[in-house]
Amino acid sequence: MREKVYDVIGIGIGPFNLGLAALLDPIKEIDSLFFEQKEEFDWHPGMLIEGTRLQVPFMADLVTMADPTNEFSYLNYLKHQNRLYNFYFLQRLEMPRNEYNHYCQWASERLKSCQFSSKVTSVTPLGTPIDRYEVEIENTKTGETHSYLTKNLILGVGTIPSLPKSLRGMSEEDVFHSSTYLQHEDRCKKAKSITVIGSGQSAAEIFRELLKERTEHGYSINWITRSKGFFPMEETKLSLEHFSPEYIDYFYELPQEQKDEIFSNQQLLYKGISPHTITDIYNLLYEQTVGGKEMDVTLMPLTEVNGISEKEAKSGYELKCRQWEKGESFLIESEVVVAATGYRPFVPNCISGLSNLIQWDDLGRYNVSKDYKLMLNEDTTGEIFVHSGMQHTHGVGSTNLGLSVNRNKIIINQIAGKEIYPPLEDNIFQKFELNS
């Protein structure tokens, strides 16, 4: 295995690297391998709640925005599942979230370049100047190790759940991140009181699910967010043009300090709640109060959670809250706490051997080139590309499923040294700067 040198090896198989593998599959002159430590593709399994859907149209699948004729398109998946007419009659652009997961599993099982139960344990640069990387792999089922050589790397390890320090140290059965909601669903049904923290799509979906089950199980629900309200995601047509190659180009050229400020004010472009979810929630609240029925449900914006402590006799928890606009502090009692508090970038341990090679900014973030390469401290003949940890450089579109296909086109063209997937131009009506 050491004798063969691959053109690219991918670390992690999430939607982004899976899409890259699918677009590389018909390109026979590029040898690629992708490794994932999980036994199979599984995308946010703790949030595959029945009735949830993607927040982007089905065209944001693995390949369509680069090559609609690729065999790993969502429509071809539907054909193989005998569901084309079912989806046609659904009359909806968004696919169910659990079907997106199944679609990706279908693709990953057919891509020979994707290897699961394969944990990358280390990456070592080789040559002077560096012209290849040695990638060590451990088979998580057998414990066997193998090494592979590659000219280029692509990091696709994604993000990890972010639980605030103020909520740590409690029982993980009672206080947990939204990413594991389905694993704790039975615990929620047995609780007397539940508090959901956060105001994004995950928080809203969990609150909606708990609201639907409330009358049967009899618990009370609090929904708390520091935000000023439970706002919808900005989905108007011209706002969506922020998820375009043109806006990424514009955003990338701005000074870093200005980029950080702009990004911090764009949360409703990617962190808000889908309008149909808000409608579902309001309809449930309305129907459950018909005839003057009382319901033990509280929605509290403008409220931050600054700490948590266990009550006496381990009968639940007290949340230390503060209505920050009025400066008023108070306690909320809850038996279960679900923290829909987002995710943070993840730098995997396996690339610790590259830490001196990689350039980092003053905040410990990757320095990333416009064409998705890590900036390095030494000259190399190969590159290290990234799919995550670059919101600070590429903006709101860096985690968008539809734009990930455009990113994969750019990466593939660089690896091939020629234009295999032509760029799409004049995609939007707006001009973010006069000369664009």
Q: Distance (Å, rounded) from C-alpha 213 to C-alpha 197?
A: 18
Residue in the structure block whose two tokens are 């809203």:
204
Which residues in 36-129 belong to E strands, given as ranges? Answer: 114-115, 118-126
Q: Do 5-158+346-416 and 163-233+271-339 agree at the fold level? A: yes
What distance in Å separates the CA atoms of residue 374 and residue 155, rounded to the nearest whole number?
Answer: 10
Residue 218 CB neighbours (<10 A): 11
Beta-carbon contacts of 357 under 8 Å, excluding residues fewer than 6 positions away, are: 125, 130, 376, 377, 378
- Examine the pLDDT at 238 and tell me if it is beyond 80: yes
- The pLDDT-based confidence of 368 (bands split at 50, 70, 90) is very high
| pLDDT of 55 over the 70 cut | yes
Q: Using the predicted structure, report yes or no on whether residue 381 has a pLDDT greater than 70.
A: yes
Asked if 156 contacts 19 with a C-beta cutoff of 8 angstroms, the reply is no
E strands present in 260-374: 297-300, 303-310, 317-323, 328-334, 336-339, 343-345
Question: pTM (2 decimals)?
Answer: 0.95
Which DSSP string do the residues of 219-233 spell out, in sequence order? -EEEEE-SSSS-PBP
Q: Which residues on neighbouring strands pair with residue 237, listed in sequence order? A: none
- Concatenated DSSP letters of 136-171: EEEETTT--EEEEEEEEEEE---EEE---GGGTTS-
Average pLDDT, the chain: 96
Q: What is the mean pLDDT of residues 23-38?
A: 98
For residues 369 and 95, what is the distance between their CA atoms, to the nearest angstrom?
33
- Note the pLDDT of residue 246: 96
The answer regarding whether domain 5-158+346-416 maps to CATH 3.50.50.60 reads: yes
Q: What are the two backbone dihedrals, phi and then psi, of residue 76, each rounded to the nearest 5 degrees?
A: -70, -35
- The one-letter code for the residue type at 261 is E
pLDDT score, position 175: 98
**pLDDT tens per residue across span 289-344:** 999 999 999 999 999 999 999 998 778 999 999 999 999 999 999 999 999 999 99
Examine the pLDDT at 2 and tell me if it is beyond 60. Answer: no
pLDDT of residue 435: 75
Q: Tell me the CATH number of domain 163-233+271-339, given options 3.40.50.2000, 3.90.580.10, 3.50.50.60, 3.30.420.40.
A: 3.50.50.60
Confidence band (pLDDT; 50, 70, 90) for 6? very high
Give 107-117 pLDDT, tens digit per residue: 999 999 999 99
What are the CA-CA distances from residue 35 to residues 17, 99, 118, 148, 317 (Å)? Answer: 10, 23, 6, 11, 41
**Residue 399: pLDDT over 90:** yes
Q: pLDDT of 218-236, one tens digit each?
A: 999 999 999 999 999 999 9
Q: State mean pLDDT over 193-218.
A: 97
pLDDT at 105 over 70: yes
pLDDT band, very low/low/confident/very high, at 436 (cuts 50, 70, 90): low
* The predicted structure's pLDDT at residue 313: 78
Residues 6+ apart with CB under 8 A from 176: 184, 337, 338, 339
Phi-psi region for residue 327, left (φ > 0), alpha (ψ -120 to 50) or beta? left
Tell me the domain boundaries of the chain: 5-158+346-416, 163-233+271-339
